[in-house]
Amino acid sequence: MAQFNPKEFAEEKIRLLRREINGETAIAALSGGVDSSVTAVLGFKAVGGNLKAVFLEDGFMRIGESEKIKRVFRGLGISVEVHDVQKDFLAALKGIGDAEEKRKAFRETFYKTFSRIAREAGAKIILQGTIAADIVETRGGVKTQHNVLEQIGINPLEKYGFKIIEPLKELYKNQVRMVARELGLPDEIVNRRPFPGPGLSIRILSEVTEEKLSTIKKATSIVDNELADIECFQAFPVLLEGKATGVGEEASRKYGYMIALRIVESKDAMTAKYVRLDWDRLERIRDRIISDIPEVSRVLYDITDKPPATIEFE
């Protein structure tokens, strides 16, 4: 097998995008992860101002995410439109606890939202950062990825009114990072840990509520801060289903949420090994979560590899 050449790949995809967009208005679905960021930059190098970068503030992102993405892309000379659609996504997932149903509800809302944005912008083409792992897991029935349509028989042009272009669909995460470096993206994007398309909604193992979202956002901020210097593929907290008894102030009974920590090493997201984190580091994270988030009573550590587990819980 020939060695992957990121420079040749980028040049080829820029030519393809220029040909496919062909002077029309297009939209890049930008989440801020390395996949969507590379896709957006390739698109701008291909057609410049004919491409609009759109970030959906769906309510399931990290704290301050939209401002961070606007800042990073401003440094690349790219303006990002932020659309606040939190109410739409919260309503779409209301009452849903099953992981697959949650992902499908997110997917439907995601594409309906972009259908409306595309109509308003006069665009009939959407660029998105689907990669090979997304397609493999969706086709294999492991989990539904929100950004996989045509590969499972859904025609986006017929259903939503736009054509989808996926310039990275044959790449895995390590290759995408190589292309990102070739394109000159900053390290904070190149080395960014993966974040699920449905965001924090699938790091809540039950129905999504505003209280649970607030809890997982705070826990995510703590974990990101405490583990910023750790070499790993992925590191995140998950809000488990149900509650557990704990001890509150003055020895009172406390009935709170349970947070699980997931830290793994991987190259392509198809397999992964859990990270043997130093106990002092784990205890510091535990103490911060328990102290800063009174709604939480327990912190657990997941030591399961992939397989048999997946990287994300849902």
Instruction: Tell me the pLDDT tens digit for each residue of 224-247.
Output: 999 999 999 999 999 999 999 988
pLDDT at 115: 96
* Contact status, residue 195 vs residue 150, Cβ threshold 8 Å: no
Provide mean pLDDT across the span 116-143.
88
- The bridge status of strand 125-127 relative to strand 163-165 is parallel
Task: Give the whole-number percent of the chain exceeding pLDDT 90.
Answer: 84
pLDDT at 125: 97
- Helix, strand, or coil (residue 108): helix
- CA 305 – CA 311 distance, rounded (Å): 8
* Contact status, residue 179 vs residue 273, Cβ threshold 8 Å: no
* Contact status, residue 164 vs residue 156, Cβ threshold 8 Å: yes
pLDDT at 208: 95
Tokens 């090979």 belong to 132
Picking from 138-152, 193-207, 267-281, which range would have the lowest pLDDT averaged per residue? 138-152
Confidence band (pLDDT; 50, 70, 90) for 144?
low
- CA 179 – CA 186 distance, rounded (Å): 12
Rounded alpha-carbon distances, angstroms, from residue 41 to 13, 46, 185: 11, 8, 9
Report pTM.
Answer: 0.90
236: left (phi over 0), alpha (psi -120 to 50) or beta: beta
Picking from 99-113, 134-148, 274-288, which range would have the lowest pLDDT averaged per residue? 134-148
Where are the extended beta strands (E) located within 154-198?
163-165
- CA 39 – CA 303 distance, rounded (Å): 33
- The helix or strand, by DSSP H or E, that contains position 244, with its residue range, turns out to be strand 234-247
Tokens 């291909």 belong to 46
Provide mean pLDDT across the span 281-305.
97
When the pLDDT of each residue in the chain is averaged and rounded to a whole number, the result is 93
pLDDT reading at 141 higher than 70? no
pLDDT reading at 143 higher than 70? no
Q: 230: buried, middle or exposed (CB in 10 Å: 19+, 13-18, 0-12)?
A: middle
- CA 46 – CA 21 distance, rounded (Å): 9
pLDDT reading at 1 higher than 60? no
pLDDT at 79: 95
Confidence band (pLDDT; 50, 70, 90) for 216?
very high
Provide mean pLDDT across the span 67-72.
95
Confidence band (pLDDT; 50, 70, 90) for 163?
very high
**HSE-CB for 132 with a 13 A CA cutoff:** 11
What would the pLDDT profile of 244-260 be if each residue is shown by its tens digit? Answer: 998 877 778 889 999 99
Domains of the chain: 6-190 (3.40.50.620), 204-301 (3.30.300.10)
pLDDT at 281: 96
What would the pLDDT profile of 9-56 be if each residue is shown by its tens digit? Answer: 999 999 999 999 999 999 999 999 999 999 999 999 999 999 999 999
Tell me 170's DSSP state.
T
